Structure 1
């Protein structure tokens, strides 16, 4: 008697950058492999292709340009992506961030992909910026987003309730299609809770160097505290993003460092070590999905200063594991950082509380299990 083997469900991830896939989705993809899925990744391959392949994942290079909306260029991307989807024939596509969601959903529908998972960590430049360019693009992007988020067998993963309410209110998506997953989570065992080195407090802002991350407010607050003689160091950890309209220039960052306002560390991929060197982690962002860097700070037992905005306030409970400040307010930011620089006991208590939250509320295991449940849900209705 011949026993027929059931075909594996084929899961395809579409993300813009290989570094982002490794940082935010590789552990999920490994769990999917262990659960019996066949896994393919479509992304722009730069520095992390070998790491993805070593995990047993099929990798397809797709040099998507994240910035710009050139109609001819976008149509060429769409055509290439449709050909990939038609050739690979995935059962489920998991598409992350605004442009992959829009292009990927059109390609998936044209290719007849049965299950579509879209994930937005935030609403991106077009919906979060008040610039003229963003306002002009918003009507077109609204139409495209409504089309993308209303697939018959489509699911939208969001990271916080504020984004969920906003998208439903604007008519972008049905409430029944939304699944809340609280970020990608963090593995607490990968981060150590060390006592920082003696010396002045080190306050870090680890993020892409974008205006929307509150970099200008951080530098202004650092200037205020320096002028007051508060004993602290301030470091920017990250690099500009040339494809994001809100990116700072390298020359600005170097000028601040030369002035002695901040230290500019640039890109780092050893975040556990960076966190271990810090005393306070600061992210004065204008809006987030649910920032992984704050989960890493909590897992490292570090006190946090961040803004009272969607995403950030999901991680930080004011007065418990950090301090929340109003958005775009350098004075309030300086006051909060001053409080923690001068109060070591409060820093330790906030750090201990943050570690507890990382272990009980924001573990990567919880996030992975919630996402695998979504895959199973879509597999059952193919």
Structure 2
């Protein structure tokens, strides 16, 4: 069988969905990657996957340009004829679902991780776009042979409350998963000897992710004489109107407030060089990848009680620390608490690792995703089947 994975960046497909593609490939299926042009697209060939570049601008609002994008997408799908189209992110879900209908692709999975700028921003632009996007979601997501994957119950409730889709069409799969064998703790002696605390924020550089609060917390603690290293990994998101400019990042670096690494390929090595993962987000997250990677590496986690974030840190002081939204002083106090209490630092890291193994291991997430494919490919056949036999049934039937 053939699967097409469609996302708004090649970076997303390469970093978040390559493991699922490998699993399908190992079972004898073809997976084609589809996204706008980017520097990661060429890497798919070395992994054994075809990549198709689609002329799509994820930030565009030009009606003519968007119609041309949908037309090009229909043409690609008509040529490829996938058995399953899996769309990722809101815009791709809307365009992919519409193009799938026009190209007569029967099985469509739409995955939305977080509700994004249009639903989270109070800007005039977002308020204007919100009703239009809701209308498009209602029109495109409810087709007979389609399902919607969301990453947390808060988003499921939001879709239901807005009457965007019926409950029978929603499946909640918490996160895109993490490779817990690749991301694992490495013991560092200096952590227990009260060495210099290293605090990391790794995310897209958007204001709503709490970048300013992270930098302000650094400023407060440096002014207080605390010797704590603040590290930021990530690049400005040029496709998002709320991106932090590179010049701003450089100014903070020059002022000695943070060490900015930009994009990092070897995340396990970086994570095993720090002590704490911080995400002071007030963005409408799915389940943040940085938090589950940090958890898998046994880092203490600090984040907010916001949708998606609360899936990882569910109990303050038990599996991480929760910080108030937009409150740099509270964040500074939480970091100070871990700097002063290395026993708590270790305890939170251990419990984060345990939670990653139990809930966010990518093998679990991939199996749940493949089970969704089963529901669409063989409607009714697996309705009452237990989880493990369902997996076996899919492999048997697909191979025929």
TM bin (shorter chain): over 0.9
Secondary structure, in 3 states, of the residue corresponding to 1:173? coil
The structure-2 alpha-carbon separation of the partners of 1:196 and 1:208, relative to structure 1 and needing over 3 Å to count, comes to: farther
Instruction: Please tell me whether the aligned partners of residues 197 and 277 of structure 1 are also in contact (alpha carbons under 8 angstroms).
Output: no
Alignment of 1:239-258 (within 5 A): 239-258=235-254
The match for 1:89 is 81
Does residue 1:265 correspond to 2:257, yes or no?
Answer: no
The match for 2:367 is 369
Does residue 1:121 correspond to 2:113, yes or no?
Answer: yes
The superposition leaves residues 107-129 of structure 1 with CA deviations (integer Å, 9 ceiling, x where unpaired) of: 10111110110000011101011
The match for 2:128 is 136
The superposition leaves residues 207-237 of structure 1 with CA deviations (integer Å, 9 ceiling, x where unpaired) of: 1110011101111111111111222111111
Secondary structure, in 3 states, of the residue corresponding to 1:150? coil
Please, which runs of 5 or more residues in structure 1 have no aligned partner? 1-8
**Match for 1:12 among 4, 14, 22?**
4
Count of aligned residue pairs for this structure pair: 374
TM-score (norm 2): 0.91
The match for 2:32 is 40
The match for 1:340 is 338
The match for 2:391 is none
The match for 1:182 is 174
Secondary structure, in 3 states, of the residue corresponding to 2:204? coil
The match for 1:304 is 301
The match for 1:51 is 43
Q: What displacement does 1:62 show?
A: 1.2
The match for 1:379 is 377
The superposition leaves residues 234-261 of structure 1 with CA deviations (integer Å, 9 ceiling, x where unpaired) of: 1111110111111011111111111111
The match for 1:3 is none
The match for 1:210 is 206
**Match for 1:62 among 54, 57, 67?**
54
The superposition leaves residues 37-84 of structure 1 with CA deviations (integer Å, 9 ceiling, x where unpaired) of: 222111124333343223332221113211121101101101100001
Counterpart Cα distance in 1 of 2:62 and 2:250: 32
Counterpart Cα distance in 2 of 1:196 and 1:332: 27
Counterpart Cα distance in 2 of 1:304 and 1:133: 34
The match for 2:275 is 279
Secondary structure, in 3 states, of the residue corresponding to 2:272? helix
The match for 1:200 is 196
Counterpart Cα distance in 2 of 1:70 and 1:366: 40
Q: What displacement does 1:197 show?
A: 6.9
Q: What displacement does 1:154 show?
A: 1.1
Counterpart Cα distance in 1 of 2:184 and 2:363: 18
The match for 1:5 is none
The structure-2 alpha-carbon separation of the partners of 1:356 and 1:61, relative to structure 1 and needing over 3 Å to count, comes to: same
Counterpart Cα distance in 2 of 1:54 and 1:45: 17
Secondary structure, in 3 states, of the residue corresponding to 1:361? helix
Instruction: Please tell me whether the aligned partners of residues 203 and 234 of structure 1 are also in contact (alpha carbons under 8 angstroms).
Output: yes
Secondary structure, in 3 states, of the residue corresponding to 2:7? strand
Counterpart Cα distance in 1 of 2:324 and 2:154: 17
TM-score (norm 1): 0.95
The superposition leaves residues 123-172 of structure 1 with CA deviations (integer Å, 9 ceiling, x where unpaired) of: 11010111111111111111111112211111000000000001100011
**Match for 1:315 among 307, 312, 315?**
312
Counterpart Cα distance in 2 of 1:308 and 1:178: 23
Counterpart Cα distance in 2 of 1:28 and 1:167: 25
Counterpart Cα distance in 2 of 1:221 and 1:109: 49
Counterpart Cα distance in 2 of 1:84 and 1:36: 22
Q: What displacement does 1:188 show?
A: 1.1
Counterpart Cα distance in 2 of 1:197 and 1:261: 26
List structure 1 segments (4+ residues) > 3 angstroms apart after TM superposition. Answer: 195-199
The match for 2:165 is 173
**Match for 2:225 among 226, 229, 239?**
229
